[in-house]
Amino acid sequence: MHLQSINPVNGQLINIYETHTLHNVNEKISQTFDAWASWKQLPLLKRGDYLAKIAVSMVNNKDRLARLMALEMGKPVKAGVAEIEKCAAVCDYYAVNAAEFLKNEFIDSDASKSYVGFEPLGIVLAVMPWNFPFWQVFRFLAPTLVAGNCALLKHASNVPGCALAIEEIIKDSGLPDHVFQTLLIGSDLVNSVIESPLISAITLTGSVEAGTKVAAKAGSVLKKTVLELGGSDAYIILKDADLELAAETCVNSRLINSGQSCIAAKRFIVVKDISDRFIEVFKNKMASKIMGDPMDENTQIGPQATTELRDHLHQQVLLSIEKGAKCVLGGVVPEGKHAYYPPTVLTGVKKGMPAYDEELFGPVAAIITVNDETEAINIANDTIFGLGASVFSRNIERAEEIAAKSLQAGSCFVNDMVRSDPRLPFGGIKQSGYGRELSAYGIREFVNIKTVFIK
């Protein structure tokens, strides 16, 4: 069996990679478990020093790694460089802050001394997606390693080059052998890895379907999981919103990573008093974005990662139109052997359409017009997902109240686009998953929160 890298710009084969057999996988698991024995004994600050070295290596290789992403999944190189810099930043963040996050917490009790300690669990298996092939990995990897765990990566099958590049960066940064390893396997071997008694926990970023399968298997062997799944983030634009700010922010969020982001804005819920004006400004800004070769520094929108994903997105658009949505921009597949899809705007979106009910994982905006704030909130929450949401209004106090108390999502923003930040916890509710990554909350997901009681 093998994995292939296909360039989504032209459909050409980049490389073929031989996959690891189950025997290879079990050998790597054993190697990593052996490495954990010494890795967990290193002082936390020493592990942090290794993270700092990884950060330097990432920055030094950012242009090369950005080009690799452009080749394998079509990310514009400018966005790719920013992704690598963010990976370096999360390594530096945990190198500096992990000791504070994991220090013993002393608690008054009937004991002469009692406290909570935080100890590593062992090996964490990560099942990661293709859309942010470096950031998604380092978002889990930096806190996992500095906490004293080791890690194995099963990356998406269409980005094996990125997966191996991560292993190369880790190795070149001087980490002990086998503390981190990449498994070149398909989804068929994931269950076998989860079942291994040497695996302690699993983290997955991906689809609801993939998350459900991994959670079920992990649950059957009583292993901790953290899941970050899909999203259909709602952006509410109230009648007193700054329309220029709202439209610009909404477009930038909808088109991040060529629309292929779990926390990209997906549904735009606009109060009818301002809907015509907002749609016009929004449409013009969408149309102004440059779609082209991801290797070009001026490109803002690259191709979709695969033609299959592009074709699925187009079918969602066509079915929404068939059910009554109006396409006011885009919606036509360009000719050629590539995976491009143009910025597309659908208006008149209603319940029962894919654009309302499903996640649109690409540069397609679904605009929903509502009568008032109450209806806007109800529709924002009328989804199986709960990853992020945003509210636009000049009344900051009211917008904050809506974000904090009314919207059902793991991250709620006011007058800005939803994004992940190493300093803030990140994750969702409902079918967007459970558990948190980043910040102090993220590093404590894969540790033993241990009570110590001394009489």
153-164 pLDDT, tens digit per residue, is 999 999 999 999
Task: Count how many residues are written for the chain.
Answer: 455
- What is the DSSP code (8-state) at residue 256? G
pLDDT of res. 394: 98
Percent of the residues in the chain that have a pLDDT greater than 70, as a whole number? 100
Q: State the pLDDT confidence band at 219, using cuts at 50, 70 and 90.
A: very high
Residues above pLDDT 90, as percent of the chain:
100
Is 162 assigned a catalytic role? no
Confidence class for position 328, pLDDT limits 50, 70, 90: very high
Residue 444: band (very low, low, confident or very high) from pLDDT cuts 50, 70, 90: very high
* CA distance linking residue 387 with residue 433, whole number of Å: 8
Q: What is the pLDDT of residues 258-286, one digit of tens each?
A: 999 999 999 999 999 999 999 999 999 99
Decide: 436 and 445 in contact? Cβ < 8 Å: yes
Q: Is the pLDDT of residue 372 over 90?
A: yes
* Active-site residue, from 228, 358, 359, 445: 228
What CA–CA distances, in Å, run from 175 to 45, 52, 132, 171? 14, 11, 23, 6
If you write DSSP's letter for every residue of 19-81 in order, what string do you get?
A: PPPHHHHHHHHHHHHHHHHHHTTS-HHHHHHHHHHHHHHHHHTHHHHHHHHHHHH---HHHHH
pLDDT over 90 (residue 226)? yes
Domains along the sequence of the chain with CATH? 2-228+430-454 (3.40.605.10), 233-414 (3.40.309.10)
Give 369's strand partners. 270
C-alpha 193/C-alpha 25 separation (Å) is 8
Q: Which of 91, 250, 262, 412 is catalytic?
A: 262
Predicted confidence at residue 264, as pLDDT, reads 97
- What are the structure tokens assigned to 260, written together? 């292929």
228 is catalytic: yes
pTM over the 0.95 mark:
yes
pLDDT for res 194: 98
Say if residue 182's pLDDT is above 90: yes
The pLDDT value given to residue 448: 98
pLDDT above 90 for 1: no
Count of beta carbons in the 10 Å neighbourhood of residue 272 = 12
Residue 330: HSE in the Cβ half-sphere, 13 Å Cα cutoff? 27
DSSP alpha helix (H) spans, 228-332? 243-254, 272-287, 307-322
Tokens of 401: 């109240």
> How far apart (Å, rounded) are the C-alpha atoms in residues 345 and 234?
15
How many angstroms separate the CA atoms of 397 and 308, rounded? 44
C-beta separation of 444 from 436 below 8 A: no
pLDDT recorded at residue 154:
98
Task: Write down the pLDDT at residue 255.
Answer: 98
Residues 6+ apart with CB under 8 A from 204: 126, 127, 128, 210, 211, 214, 215, 225, 226, 227, 228, 229
CB 74 within 8 A of CB 302: yes
pLDDT of 179 reads 98
Q: What is the mean pLDDT of residues 404-430?
A: 98
Stretch 404-408: mean pLDDT: 98
